[in-house]
A and B are shown apart, each in its own frame.
Chain A
């Protein structure tokens, strides 16, 4: 069914349709409408879940971890500083190999106090062992949340997964999307089969002291799972495509085949870049685009073009654009633009301008310092 709604309401709807048994959330700023909407579903009796109001985001993640360890599907949502407060427990969820699924609304980190889009909140969690998806439309928010459960809960993976989308630009924007029937979602996403559970009838301890060698084994196994996730994300994305007509992979390529220069970006910027690519093509420029759907696992195998123009709405101070530097081990010519930090508007005209600048061998902070 075609519906029209905001990114936040769509994220809540997707979470509801995945039928989580426990949802824990801190309902105060910087929280989003997502958990408010879920509270409405629970109150109306449309969602059978244990909804726990906790006293902080750290506790929200702890509650999800504990609930997941009892073998049930869990969900939470957060944004910016809320995600940062979870940081310790994000590692815990990853190392426990518990497939908690969360949405994060990308918002700048203060000070200065800024509520606009910026990807530094989630990108600074990239070493916590979470699979990370990014959405560039409300349809992708919905599709990613459902697929995230199936991928995270795969017995060869068992890793938590985060679906991020831009604050305001998607979170508050109404767009149309196709929402499949609940029965079709249920068929795509069967009940969660946990890898291990806490059960009073069969007591075990978990997370106890571990000596160096087995600890290293745990880390190694996590890394193997993350690598394996590349294949599973691809397979699940293809299955989604067969069932619902919208196939997914690790990236979305657009007009790359004969491209001279290929933009690499993600989230809302990737949608805007599509308009820039079409305009450049109309002017005879061979432009292409890669939209990174996942950042963990990082889709190295999909980035195989020369002259990649990487646009980062994020920054690692002292290093540069995070995505650009993740890609630096690839042996291709690349140009780095830092743009849209703190929610600065980036239009297709700006992206077309970056294309021209890259051709002149220029890069940098757009438009502050380009050389």
Chain B
């Protein structure tokens, strides 16, 4: 079991999300930032890769979490955590680029962490199955972003699940919010490290 990233005085955590247009990578970054703020981190940021994305194309989104105001405005080149919403991306993008040695790559897959050899720590969660279990579909396709953030939160000491649920309530309504909260709880428990 890998230890979670520890919250320290100099606790800036930089996170990169890889997915495809339409999978909700940007929403994932925003949900995380909201949850991190509600968990008491004064410095949070979420931003998309500054490009012209479209549905199906590779998409990147970023988040920063710190206990004090974040003044950085530059891109994230050395992430602490990389979240892969779609492992197919790994055929075309080097997702390990710049990742810190003690960093974590969190993958959406039914496979185990030891099935992957990366120059950093690995965690996995079967977010696609979790999205299907909880009926989180858009146009018949499972949407994994909330499940991935649910799993991610279990790897962070400074963001709690209750804040993420609050973020989901803020973003979604009714049955959609309920389903996403169930997915987030399930992913949070089922993440493998």
Q: Which residues from chain A sit less than 8 Å from chain B, CB to CB? A: 2, 4, 115-116, 136, 166, 168-170, 172-176, 268-269, 271-272, 274-275, 343, 345-348
Nearest Cβ on chain A to B70's Cβ, whole angstroms: 8
Chain B 16-61 residues near chain A, CB threshold 8 A: 29-30, 33-34, 37, 42-48, 50, 52
**A–B pairs, 27, beta carbons within 8 Å:** A2-B37, A4-B33, A4-B44, A116-B50, A136-B73, A168-B47, A168-B50, A169-B47, A172-B47, A173-B47, A174-B30, A174-B33, A174-B46, A174-B47, A175-B45, A175-B70, A176-B37, A176-B42, A271-B71, A271-B72, A272-B71, A272-B74, A275-B71, A345-B74, A345-B75, A346-B74, A347-B74
Given contact pairs A168-B50, A272-B71, A347-B77, a sample of 4 additional A-B residue pairs in the complex whose CB atoms are under 8 Å apart = A2-B37, A172-B50, A174-B33, A176-B37
| Chain B residue at minimum C-beta to C-beta distance from A271 | B71
Bound-state CA distance A168–B50 (Å) is 6
CB distance from B180 to the nearest CB of A (A): 18
Residue of A nearest to B74 (CB): A347
A169 x B52 contact (CB < 8 A): no
Q: Separation in Å of the B10 CB from the closest CB of chain A? A: 11
Q: Are B74 and A348 in contact (CB under 8 A)?
A: yes
**Are B73 and A269 closer than 8 Å at their CB atoms?**
yes
Please measure, in the bound complex, the distance between the C-alpha atom of A175 and the C-alpha atom of B45, giving whole angstroms: 5
In the bound complex, residues from chain B placing their C-beta under 8 Å from that of A116 are: 50
Q: Given A4-B33, A4-B34, A4-B37, A173 and B46 touching (CB < 8 A)?
A: yes
Q: How far is the CB of B96 from chain A (nearest CB, A)?
A: 20
Contact across chains for A348 and B72 when beta carbons are under 8 A apart: yes
Chain A contact residues: helix, strand, loop or mixed: mixed
Q: Shortest 10 CB-CB distances between A and B: which pairs?
A: A347-B74, A173-B47, A168-B50, A268-B73, A174-B46, A271-B71, A274-B71, A272-B73, A345-B75, A169-B73
Q: Which residues of B contact A2 (CB under 8 A)?
A: 37
**A356 → chain B, closest Cβ, in Å?**
18
Nearest-CB residue, chain B, relative to A267: B73
Shortest C-beta distance, B71 to chain A (Å), equals: 4
User: Which residues in B have their C-beta under 8 angstroms from that of A345?
Assistant: 74-75
CB-CB nearest in chain A for B43: A176
- Minimum C-beta distance from A103 to chain B (A): 18
Complex CA–CA separation, A238 to B42 (angstroms): 24
Rounded to whole Å, the gap between the CB of A296 and the closest CB of chain B is 23
Complex Cα distance, B44 from A348, in Å, reads: 18
A343 to B48, CA, bound (A): 14
Q: Which of A172, A174, A275, A343 contacts B72 (CB 8 A)?
A: A275
Q: Among A173, A272, A343, which residue has the most Cβ atoms of chain B within 10 A?
A: A173
* A109 to B46 Cα, complex, angstroms: 26
Contacts of B52 in A (CB 8 A): 115
Cα–Cα distance between A170 and B33 once the two chains are bound (Å): 15
What's the nearest-Cβ distance from chain B to residue A261, in Å? Answer: 19
In the complex, chain B residues whose CB is within 8 Å of the CB of A4: 33-34, 37, 44
Nearest CB of A to B145, in Å = 15
Q: Give chain B nearest CB distance to A67 CB in angstroms.
A: 34
